[in-house]
Structure 1
């Protein structure tokens, strides 16, 4: 399974010049089983496999847990194996999101240092089902409900189609001794409640196969999201050019888009185009509520704005004629503006 996944990802085994893989391992059953599977191809010479362990320092004895995991990985023959201690900042995004941010920063650095072609993550089908349920609870859109992608940049998730019990069977068969993160059973975390209470309840009430059904839904929605995102990117570039904006990559402080052209788009495309305009000016991806607030400006009723978005970006309706580089002065544009740092 792992070999086929890597081949499909464009990383065919090559003993003459083995692709470099880095396993992100916590010492838990998922990532430990993945490391064991990767070590087989490492020993055969098909791939050069190392590992990175990230110590978030959030639990007593975390340093010992990290070093123990690293020792197991070295015992499998992986090289290099590095341990990265990170500081999780207190922020408004919550501890899980903050930990994820610094974890990927550490993994990015480890991959660069190792010259890795890919970083392997041990997420399973159960993790994906939990992600989809959490997205449903938040009222998220298609992209969020698509869950975790099997591939994003250098990050690969070869076990995304496996159940958690299957990777535990791999650990048992190989006589591995995984570490079990106590926070996975801590009810103070929403994901833990989904894992220990919500999914088992749904299985009991609706019958078996709920996790697999959620996984299938995520794959279908991922295809839809990929298509819509591609269409939105193409549409945004067209509208951006038609409105006479500076060339892409010029770090503009203002983006104009035709109100009429925006009104003619299907809502699914229009909302994505509005989000892309905000993102180009440095805003975080706006929430559905903020995008809908920007959309109300297109009705030309009431206030012309501005609607405040994250990252000191605002959107408002252009009410006076303004010259554009390629054409005569015109109004009827929606304007996205980044507040100057000066």
Structure 2
């Protein structure tokens, strides 16, 4: 077949992505012309496929690249059962993956808990749990996710709406670990336009999720009931692209690399500081050396406090963090800082104790 520009870039992206996690050619045979079957004990890569254009393009390209390396390639289709007809879409995606040569093809139905963090977060949790469970069961070397450059840009915008600081700019990582399973995103440098071109060039059908606004006029904003990501994709990003004359998605996505480097450096500095500033309390709390905390840079001080609160499983806001930092930097005898989950932080001499309420006494 003739490889178009989009298909060549997709193949290169998958090959590079597999190489980054240690999956290269499995045998000298695969450097020779002709088709060679992968060994039954060759590493297995599983593509998370929804049936949409991005994941169908990834499934097609991954199967081709894996075959050229002697790596086995299968697919996992998750049915969240949140929409009418979702089971039909999942079955269709599974049949398409089978026709493309992926094996095994596993279809999994999941239950989504919407009570804690809402439907989007619940679906994501259920999806990743199912993907990691299946990958572990089959001993897969990695699960490939079809997130694109456009998804990356949308993630940055959503994170900026929900949080602040460097972490809001880092976007999605190329490779993550979830419950001991490696997840890789080889398409983060490709646009949705390119994955669409791959599907069209290779005559691959795809399914458009109606909650993404498929079929709706691009000039009409999606109703509030639609998922936030869908509204950002359908309404916010097109507006920004028109307003700036294009290039916004690429600019946002490319900025994540340097932001992630900054975040990694700050986290390393925080880990070093934490080991010297925070220690465990005998009754399950934490003790923070206020004097040592005060000497650190403001960026590190807040991260040390956030790390401590996370260690205790406390849900907190930036106001909680600032109040605890002030116990070190602006100490004038103020009272304790009330925290969620029945905790509080109180300074005595040069120590800030973060404890369950009632355990501060007699200390």
Cα gap change, 1:252/1:40 in structure 2, threshold over 3 Å: closer, same or farther?
farther
Displacement of 1:162 after TM fit?
Answer: 0.5
Contact 2:43/2:72, CA 8 A, preserved across alignment? yes
SS at structure 1 position matched to 2:47: strand
2-structure distance, mates of 1:175, 1:313 = 58
Q: 1:13 aligns with which of 5, 14, 25?
A: 25
SS at structure 1 position matched to 2:339: strand
Cα gap change, 1:177/1:234 in structure 2, threshold over 3 Å: closer, same or farther?
same
Contact 2:24/2:69, CA 8 A, preserved across alignment? no
Q: Deviations over 1:153-200 (max 9, x none)?
A: 211100001010000001111111011111111533322222122111
- Residue in 2 aligned with 1:323? none
1-structure distance, mates of 2:184, 2:105 = 18
> How many residue pairs align between the two structures?
319
Cα gap change, 1:336/1:12 in structure 2, threshold over 3 Å: closer, same or farther?
farther
Cα gap change, 1:302/1:183 in structure 2, threshold over 3 Å: closer, same or farther?
farther
Q: 1:220 aligns with which of 246, 258, 262?
A: 258
1-structure distance, mates of 2:223, 2:295 = 47
Contact 1:23/1:49, CA 8 A, preserved across alignment? yes
Displacement of 1:339 after TM fit?
Answer: 7.1
2-structure distance, mates of 1:14, 1:187 = 50
Mapping 1:149-168, distance limit 5 Å: 149-153=173-177, 154-168=182-196
2-structure distance, mates of 1:208, 1:252 = 57
SS at structure 2 position matched to 1:147: coil
2-structure distance, mates of 1:339, 1:80 = 53
1:122 matched to 2:146:
yes
Q: Deviations over 1:47-100 (max 9, x none)?
A: 111111111100001111111111111112212211111111122412111111
Cα gap change, 1:111/1:126 in structure 2, threshold over 3 Å: closer, same or farther?
same
SS at structure 2 position matched to 1:318: strand
SS at structure 1 position matched to 2:114: coil
Q: 2:55 aligns with which of 9, 28, 31?
A: 31
- Residue in 1 aligned with 2:350? 332
Displacement of 1:313 after TM fit?
Answer: 6.2
1:316 matched to 2:345:
yes
Q: Which runs of 5 or more structure 2 residues have no equivalent in the other structure?
A: 1-11, 28-38, 214-221, 359-363
Displacement of 1:29 after TM fit?
Answer: 0.7
Displacement of 1:268 after TM fit?
Answer: 1.2
1:267 matched to 2:298:
yes
1-structure distance, mates of 2:300, 2:294 = 10
| Alpha-carbon RMSD | 2.1
1:290 matched to 2:355:
no
SS at structure 2 position matched to 1:289: helix
TM-score, normalised relative to structure 1: 0.87
Displacement of 1:207 after TM fit?
Answer: 1.4
Contact 1:283/1:313, CA 8 A, preserved across alignment? no
1:182 matched to 2:220:
no
Cα gap change, 1:236/1:199 in structure 2, threshold over 3 Å: closer, same or farther?
same
TM-score, normalised relative to structure 2: 0.82
